[in-house]
Structures are given as C-alpha cells and as structure tokens.
Chains A and B, each alone.
Chain A
C-alpha cells in the first residue's frame, strides 16, 4: 500500500498527518456507502415500477376450485419436435434449478419424464422473474406457460432430449419445503456409483421412512408401473383362459397352513386369524363348480425373518383349477400364464425395464416357451454332481436353490423353470402323493433367477385320504372339519399354486430387495408408513 510506504519514510510528522488521512478516508467511505444505498433503493424502486413482467409470475392462490379454467395442459412426454414453436401450458414439479446471471435453467418433471425449461431476461421475462424462478424450491409444483423450442444439441440429462421450453409465465401451485429429507438425485444414483466417488447415497430405511419422496424417483415410478403391468397381464391372460376372479375373506377362524406364523387379531369376544393364503377358499370354489379361479389379494405371514425376500404382508396371485386327467395340465396352464406375463412385460413395458436398469443394471430376463420342467430328483442329482451333499428327501435350502438356478441357467439359458415332484414329507398335508412312489408327491415349485416364486400341487380331493394325511401330520381334525367336509359331496381333481407379486417384480427386474417392489412394505421391523 502506498499509504504505508509514506508512513515509513516520514515517521516524525506522521502522527497528525495519519489521523487526518484516516478521517478523510472514513468520510469518503461513508459517502460511498450512502451513495450505494441510495442507488440500490432507487434501483429497487425503479424496478418495482418498471417490472413489466410482474403479472407473469408469482405464487398462485391456493387452488380451491374457484374457477374452472378451460386450459389444456400438455404432458411432458408429449413434448416432441412436432410441437416446436407452439405456446403451451404445463404443470410439473421443479426437479432442479440452476441460475446463471440473466438466465435460469429449470428441469421440470412429470413422473418419469422431464424437460429442460429456460427462464431468461428478455422482452417477455424480467430480471425479477428470473430471480423468482431461481428461488423456487425443488419439488414445488408449478404451472408454466412456455414456447417449445427445438434444440441443436441433445439434452442428455432429460428424457425429452430434442426440445426445451422457454418460459413466459410461471406460477407456483404448491410450494415444497426448502429442506428435503432426501435428494432425488441421491436416491436415483446408479448402484455402486456413490461408493466410488464418495457421493451421497440414500439407505433403504431413509427411503422407506420418506416413501412419498422416494416413490417420485424415475426408478420407483417404473417399478410400480411394471408391477401394475404384472397384475394386469395376470388378469388378462387368465380371463382369456376362462378363469373367474374371486374374492376371499382375509379374517379367518383357523390357521390355513399349519398353526405357526399366523397373525392373531381380536374378533369381538374371541380371536381370529389373518389369512396366510386363500388356499382353502379357492379350493372350495373349485368344489362349488367354478372350474378355474384366480384371486389377487393380500396374504399375511407372521414369520420373524428379516431377509431380502420376506415380507409379513404381500400380494398373492393365486390360481386354482380343476383338471381332467393329469396335474401337468395345471402346470402347463400356470407356466403359460407366466410366459405370457414375461412376454407382455418384454413387449409392452420396455421403457420401464430400461429405466430400472439404469439405476440397477441386470441381465434381461430369459425364458423358454414352453417352460422347462425338471424333476426334484434330477435337481438333487445336478446339485450332487456340483458337489453338494444332501439327502433324497431333504428340502432345498436357499443357497442350494440359487446354485440349482445357476446350473439350470448354464445349461438351458433360462431364468424360469419348474421343479416337479417334491418329496411328500416337505409339503403340506393336502398335497396329493405320487401314485408310483409314496415318498414323492404331485407338487411343484417355480423359480425365477434361482429363487422360488410359486409353490403348488395337486390337492387331495378325497375326504378320506385327506383325513388320513391330516392325522399323519398330527393336525387337529376338529379345526379343519369344514375344509374336509367340502370334499364329501363330490370334488373334481384339481391343483393350483400361489405366486408372490412382489417377488415376481423383484426377480424379473433383477433387484436385490423385496422392499423395493413393495410400495409400503411390512416386515417384522416396519409398520409405517
């Protein structure tokens, strides 16, 4: 500083001179400050006066259905280059916003689709409007009037890559709180990416605690749209096959499959149970001549297992049908239904599958038509060949199931297969024994990517044999009297099975946790939200 240099050379007379200079400087400073303030005030006043765009933005009054505007809102997914240079209205969430001088870039989102929006100072938008737009909190819902413009360079970060919109009016319909419990970008960051760059990821519990926000991610949107697709295809295929959809009670008087893992609820002066499966009821429908039935509904299991694939409440897709001579007719029917679902998903839900794959990459689901059927003994032999030691009548453990799935995939290149003829001892009492070998039974499991999704069998339709089997399993005959009685008045041979909807979605998409495919999952540790 030159001032200090001067001080050094003339130290004697410095005192008075220095004081003087200081005073002078301070005065100068104060004058400048005053001037600046005045200028700012004037500017503010000035802008307030000449903000020509002040009707073009703002917080809209709460929509209380005051008026019914005849205004067409365009969907973001419909914003294509054909709409270029048109003036449109749209309602969307503010996904991100980035202000840069006289411009503000917003990304507007509608479900899984998003588009870039630009608010720039010009003859339609003022500086204040840009500032307002930049300050809108993320996740707020806005109404925007804008002109669609083609872009020269593809916008890689948005789903609508060929166009952007130039905002002319912007109104906030519903403001989001500025602090979000989780960031959408973090929640939709591809698996593994966060760990590498030290960027934030969101853990499962945070996601589930703030499910409403987590469900807004494109991945969640795609998962649950696909889940809805599974249900739709299930209904569609079975209805075409002549099945009837039935509804069964969920509050029941006796545990359907074994007394363990059943929820007890108080029922006036006594207690009741939550249905573990619609098993007995769908069988009764068969006895009541409905021929082929299916039902879609919640199923409850009081299993205290905290694994990636167990829930205490899940959606069961249940099938039961009468057959003519061989229970393989049932297997064929079920496997064909599954194949139709897989094909439907492959052909009609490719966008959703791709979106989930972006965050959770996995190999596409492979299957054979007709479905591959192996026998239990063959499965055991394959496992033994691979070095697993197990008895003939042991049930498959989860790791063995997975290993068998890998072996089958290696040889047949299919992610879906049926394992037939399980040992009788590992199946419920109502399973029909094998006619040729009493150790085995007419029962089957179906596997997707090496995990069980369906368990089914030919059921015993003869009251006497059923009683024998129940006694053998030491089941109290009094408790299942109603069930056994329904077979006393003539019952067609029948079989069926139950599929877990969440598991099908999880395994089809190659996800690793069933909580990702359950909208509001229930497990031993979670009852909310």
Chain B
C-alpha cells in the first residue's frame, strides 16, 4: 500500500457475546484488520508453524506418556509376578536400570539438548592430550552409557606417537555391535591428540569447540540432568567445579590444602557438596582429588565422602586401570 497505515484502534478479534440462536456471518472487522499474513493464514484455517510445532510436541509428549504408562504397567506386572519376563518395550523405554536413574532426576531429551537428529550419529568428539587424561570425562562417559545407548570409540591422532594401553581401553571394552551405528543415540569419540588444552567438538557448523575439561564436563553433565533451576545452587555447583580444576588439580600444595579444607567444611554440613544429591561438583572434585594424589592426606569428612563416592561404583574409571 502506498499510503500510511494506522493501527486499528480496537482489536479485530474482540470476542463479543453473540446470541447463538441466529445464523452467524464472519466478522467484517476481522477481515479488515487482518492485513498481516499470519491473520489471513489463521482465517484460512492454516495454523502457524509455531502452533504446529507446539502440536507436534504435545503429540510427542502424549506418546511418551502412553509409553511410560505401558512401561510402568509392565513393571507392575513383574513386581506382582516376579518370574514374569520384562518384555522388550519395557526394556527399551527404561534404558537406565542403574542407580543413576534415581540419582539424576529430570529428563534430558537429546533432541532438545543437541538439536534434531538428521540421520547422522550425534557424535561428541573429545580431543585430549595423553599426558593429561580427562578423568572427569571418563566418569561422565560411564554415566552417559547408563542413560543412553552410546557408541564409544578411542582413536590415536597422528600427532601422538604412542599411547599407553590403559588409555586405549579407557572407555570400556570394544562394542561388538559397533557396526550398526544408526542404533545408537549418542557417539562418544575420544581422540588422543597433541593438544595444549582439552577440546570438544560437537556440531562444527553451528558450534565452536569447547575448551577445557571443566567446560566439557559441564556440557556432558547437562545431558544427564538439566541445570538446577535454583540459581544459587547452580552457582554453587559451578564454583565447586572451578575449585576442583583450578585449585585441586592445577594449584600448588598450599592451594590444594585450602581447597581440601573448604571441601571438609562443606561436607560437614551435607553428605554431598551441593545439597542432598550427587552433582557434577562431587564428580569433578573427586576426580581432581584422586588425580592430584591428595586423597591420602584428606581430612575426615572428605575421606568419608570419597568412600561414599567409591561405593556408587561408577568412579572406578577415575583410577584408570
């Protein structure tokens, strides 16, 4: 239109209470006001793409709920009749029959976290220097394996001449069904490479590499459980992760001792570092403490907490044996 436009002084879509006993005609005002495309589209019965996406999501959620219901029913059946076999659908929808299922609350949807699956395996590539094995990431990899179907692979880059055997087997035994890549939800590729700083690459087109073990650990942990909604708690976890890497792992003897003291203090108040549940803070601090060799001389609360960590079972990889 070559002339100026004014905004309508009243909303086109005012819902007036019309009597229903008579026939209706489409609103004249709505047609006039409907100059924008989206409104036209609405009148023609085409829903907005956002609405459609919302609908699709709702359908997906409903489908999942039905699945979950079936799974719970199946479980109830097995509980009621202990010798009944778990049927396959139950097995696949509850792919985490491990302590983590209860440890990490909150569902993490891979599509939402990592973008839509377009047919390629969602492969997380970690470039690590064999001189500094990323223990935290190995533990997190173990946890990921319990939650998702993860295709793990270890490679040696040509910039590194030789790598000790235990680093080659650090992601567990070779998977026999590794030949059917499309069956996996997630890929975890560890490449021993001559890099100054640990590096993670995921989607090279849309994401820059993530550097530093702490940051990669944060990324991986989000795949297991979403960030706490409580900002204070989230900050607390974050600050413990920093303490772990900057003071426990890289710091001098004094800094390490200070960090252990503050760990001891925090563990006096709670059983875990950030509240009543195990979090990334515990994983990072445990791994860094083990790596720095500070474990032996640790104060009492820390000793008790380390024992508790070990009892969980999935920290065994941090010792790299």
Point out the residues of chain B lying under 8 angstroms from A378, CB to CB.
119-121, 181
Q: Tell me whether A368 and B179 are in contact (CB under 8 A).
A: no
A382 to B191, CA, bound (A): 20
A380 part of interface (Cβ distance < 8 Å): yes
Q: Tell me whether B158 and A365 are in contact (CB under 8 A).
A: yes
A157 part of interface (Cβ distance < 8 Å): no
Q: Tell me whether B158 and A381 are in contact (CB under 8 A).
A: no
Say whether, besides A368-B155, A368-B158, A377 and B182 are in contact (CB < 8 Å).
Answer: yes
Q: Tell me whether A386 and B205 are in contact (CB under 8 A).
A: yes
Point out the residues of chain B lying under 8 angstroms from A372, CB to CB.
155, 189
Point out the residues of chain A lying under 8 angstroms from B191, CB to CB.
368, 412-413
Q: Which residue of A lies closest to B115 (CB)?
A: A385
Q: Tell me whether A385 and B127 are in contact (CB under 8 A).
A: no
Q: Tell me whether B158 and A346 are in contact (CB under 8 A).
A: yes
Of B119, B120, B159, B205, the residue contacting A366 (CB under 8 A) is B159
A413 to B201, CA, bound (A): 10
A410 part of interface (Cβ distance < 8 Å): yes
Point out the residues of chain B lying under 8 angstroms from A385, CB to CB.
118, 120, 203, 205
Q: Tell me whether A413 and B127 are in contact (CB under 8 A).
A: yes
Question: B208 → chain A, closest Cβ, in Å?
Answer: 11
B156 part of interface (Cβ distance < 8 Å): yes
Most buried by A among B127, B180, B205: B205
Q: Which residue of B lies closest to A380 (CB)?
A: B119
Q: Which residue of B lies closest to A412 (CB)?
A: B125
Q: Which residue of A lies closest to B181 (CB)?
A: A375
B 179-213 to A, binary, CB cutoff 8 A, 1 in contact else 0: 11110000001010100000001011100000000
Point out the residues of chain A lying under 8 angstroms from B155, CB to CB.
368-370, 372, 412, 414
A364 to B159, CA, bound (A): 10
A328 part of interface (Cβ distance < 8 Å): yes
Question: A424 → chain B, closest Cβ, in Å?
Answer: 17
Q: How many residues of A contact B (CB 8 A)?
A: 31
Q: Which residue of A lies closest to B156 (CB)?
A: A369
Question: B258 → chain A, closest Cβ, in Å?
Answer: 39
Point out the residues of chain B lying under 8 angstroms from A364, CB to CB.
158
Point out the residues of chain A lying under 8 angstroms from B204, CB to CB.
407, 410-411
The residues in A between 362 and 402 inclusive whose CB is less than 8 angstroms from any CB of B are 364-370, 372, 374-375, 377-382, 384-386
Q: How many residues of B contact A (CB 8 A)?
A: 23
A234 part of interface (Cβ distance < 8 Å): no
A412 to B200, CA, bound (A): 10
Point out the residues of chain B lying under 8 angstroms from A411, CB to CB.
123, 125, 201, 204
A497 to B102, CA, bound (A): 50
Q: Tell me whether B118 and A368 are in contact (CB under 8 A).
A: no
Most buried by A among B127, B158, B180, B204: B158
Point out the residues of chain B lying under 8 angstroms from A380, CB to CB.
119
A314 part of interface (Cβ distance < 8 Å): no
Q: Tell me whether A328 and B179 are in contact (CB under 8 A).
A: yes
A379 to B125, CA, bound (A): 16
B157 part of interface (Cβ distance < 8 Å): yes
Point out the residues of chain A lying under 8 angstroms from B158, CB to CB.
342-343, 346, 364-369
A372 to B153, CA, bound (A): 9
A473 part of interface (Cβ distance < 8 Å): no
Q: Which residue of A lies closest to B174 (CB)?
A: A370
Point out the residues of chain B lying under 8 angstroms from A368, CB to CB.
155-158, 191
A328 to B155, CA, bound (A): 17
Most buried by A among B157, B159, B204: B204
A119 to B230, CA, bound (A): 87
Q: Tell me whether A412 and B119 are in contact (CB under 8 A).
A: no
Question: B126 → chain A, closest Cβ, in Å?
Answer: 11
A326 part of interface (Cβ distance < 8 Å): yes
Point out the residues of chain A lying under 8 angstroms from B179, CB to CB.
326, 328
Point out the residues of chain A lying under 8 angstroms from B119, CB to CB.
377-378, 380-381, 384
Most buried by B among A342, A370, A413, A436: A413
Question: A458 → chain B, closest Cβ, in Å?
Answer: 12
A 243-269 to B, binary, CB cutoff 8 A, 1 in contact else 0: 000000000000000000000000000
Q: Tell me whether B193 and A413 are in contact (CB under 8 A).
A: yes
* 9 pairs of residues in contact across A and B, judged by CB atoms under 8 Å: A368-B155, A370-B155, A372-B189, A377-B119, A381-B120, A385-B120, A407-B205, A413-B191, A413-B193
Residues of A within 8 A of B (CB): 326, 328, 342-343, 346, 364-370, 372, 374-375, 377-382, 384-386, 407, 410-414, 436
Known: A343-B158, A412-B189. 7 other contacts (CB 8 A): A326-B179, A378-B120, A379-B120, A381-B118, A385-B203, A386-B205, A412-B191
Would you list the 3 A-B pairs with minimal beta carbon distance, nearest first? A381-B119, A381-B120, A368-B155
